[in-house]
Amino acid sequence: MDAQIISIVLNILLGCLGGFTAILVGSKDWADLKTFAAFKRYILGAIIGGAYYLLHSDYGFPNLIMSFISAYSGADFFDKLAKRREKEGEQSNKRSREAG
């Protein structure tokens, strides 16, 4: 196979592994690894790993390790952004109701 395809696949696999590790660290039971939230985290980790391959620089910390770390913490980052936007939306709706 082409070296570039192998590198893309490795980044995607390590991204998925980063998502798996984040679920494993936060789980209380083996059943937590089979929930929809866990599956969503695996997929998001793989997407983050693939995106990291497309966006990485050619120097610095080893890229595969950074792909793993990005996927490990990336899902939490996106979840916190979504919760913040949801909270801002609720506050905006409350102000609209009070004004109208």
pLDDT digit string, tens, across residues 52-86: 888 876 765 688 888 888 888 887 888 888 888 88
Tokens of 89: 């939306």
Residue 60, phi then psi, degrees to nearest 5: 105, -155
Whether 36 shows a pLDDT value over 60: the answer reads yes
Burial 24-49 (b: 16+ CB within 10 A, else e): eeeeeeeeeeeeeebeebbebbbbbb
% of the chain residues with pLDDT over 70 = 94
| pLDDT mean over 10-15 | 91
Interhelix angle 36-55/63-99, nearest 10 degrees:
120
Cβ neighbors of 40 (< 8 A, separation 6 or more) are 75
Residue 4's pLDDT is what? 83
The structural domains of the chain, with segments of one domain joined by +, span 3-75
